[in-house]
Amino acid sequence: MHVPDGFINAPVSAVAGVVAAGAVAVSLRGARRELGGASLSDGTGGGGERTAPLAGLVAAFIFAVQMLNFPVAAGTSGHLLGGALAAILVGPYTGVLCIAVVLLMQGILFADGGLTALGVNITVMGVVTTVVAYGLFRGLTHVLPRGRRSTTVASFVAALVSVPAAAAAFTLIYAIGGTTDVPLGKVLTAMVGVHVLIGIGEAAITALTVGAVIAVRPDLVYGARGLAAPLKLRVGGELIDAPAAAPAPVAVAARSTRKVWATGLAAALVLAGFVSFYASANPDGLEKVAADKGIDEKVQEHDAAGSPLADYGVKDIADARISGGLAGVIGVGSTVAVGTGVFWAVRRRRTTEAQATPVTGAV
């Protein structure tokens, strides 16, 4: 659903840019708590050491999976948006930043998604999907029985709903600032209809990923905090809560994430570098609707069209498999580097602020 330049007029694109910038600013503040707070599953500390490395990996993984367009209808494909997945894995504020990093890398390096439309894309694909998905996810986890299966089911439903919600948000923005005169009812019906189908794929990918991480490391899943039931001890014939375990040292916490991080990065590299070659070549939902309804009449050439990585291929490499695979690997590497740098900087600032805050009430 990457909106190119020319779909939305300049004034509305500028307003969307301001909205996106505000959302990113708020998310930076919220992400300091998510990346620098206590452990999400047991409240014992160490959450920052565990979550910060994972956040950069989540951004890279979403970048990789977005290269895997899957067929959803005759002549139409879809791809992961990723807002639900990011919010559930690393938190809603950090999730918005993950999607923003992905969209920025795609726009600058690969000419995917207009640069003047970056604010529209962050608002639609990042903010709307994350807010809708995480709000619904938290509501469902409070209603459903607590457990891994319920968490996975909640992630499926949240991801499914987030995609047509983003399609509706784009239609609203188009209604305000669209550059072509197209009946809005037809645009809304077409956009929501095809993106419900794409949402099914999004939901499956999100649920499978969340379920896989929960199965091996539930403590790394932000949305699974509190999932593990407290250990009970029988004392004098009565069950009592066992004392909480001491927080793991920073070095141990860092080592404990190393295997997960390496496995996730390897999976992202394989998906982007190899599996992406077999992705559907059909236009995605927005491209198809734009072509069918005439939304793309005033589309503009991307400012980064001359990039050596434009259209997810390396310039001057004739072999499509090698060109696309290498571009995918470069994209994953760039995204994980930029994302990890951003999230470590956010966490470091949180740590610095905490150390600078005087402790009150001490005797």
Q: Does residue 270 form part of some domain?
A: yes
331 pLDDT more than 80: yes
Per DSSP, helices labelled H in the chain are: 10-36, 47-66, 83-90, 92-110, 118-121, 129-143, 148-177, 184-216, 250-273, 285-293, 320-356
At 232, which helix (H) or strand (E)?
A: strand 232-235
pLDDT in tens, 235-276: 666 656 545 444 444 444 445 678 889 999 999 999 999 999
65 pLDDT more than 60: yes
SS3 (DSSP) at 273? helix
CA distance 126 to 58: 14
What pLDDT is stored for residue 233 in this prediction? 55
CA distance 342 to 75: 38
The structure's pTM equals 0.88
CA distance 26 to 288: 34
Inter-residue contact 194 to 158 (CB < 8 Å): no
Q: Does residue 82 form part of some domain?
A: yes
CA distance 50 to 342: 15
CA distance 99 to 121: 9
The whole domain housing 63 covers: 10-230+249-354
Q: Does residue 263 form part of some domain?
A: yes
CA distance 225 to 87: 13
Would you place residue 293 in the very low, low, confident or very high pLDDT band (cuts 50, 70, 90)?
Answer: very high
Residue 261: give its domain's CATH number.
Answer: 1.10.1760.20
Closest CA relative to residue 38, chosen from 30, 24, 50: 50
313: CB partners within 8 A, 6+ apart: 320, 323, 324, 327
Specify the number of domains making up the chain: 1
Q: Does residue 135 form part of some domain?
A: yes
Lowest mean pLDDT among 2-16, 38-52, 205-219: 38-52
Inter-residue contact 63 to 94 (CB < 8 Å): no
Would you place residue 363 in the very low, low, confident or very high pLDDT band (cuts 50, 70, 90)?
Answer: very low
Q: Does residue 114 form part of some domain?
A: yes
Q: Does residue 199 form part of some domain?
A: yes
pLDDT in tens, 268-289: 999 999 999 999 999 999 999 9
206 pLDDT more than 90: yes
CA distance 59 to 92: 13
What pLDDT is stored for residue 220 in this prediction? 87
323 pLDDT more than 80: yes
What pLDDT is stored for residue 116 in this prediction? 95
Q: Does residue 241 form part of some domain?
A: no
Closest CA relative to residue 270, chosen from 79, 112, 61, 59: 61
Inter-residue contact 63 to 103 (CB < 8 Å): no
- For the chain, what is the mean pLDDT? 87
Lookup result for tokens 């895997």: 68
Q: Does residue 73 form part of some domain?
A: yes
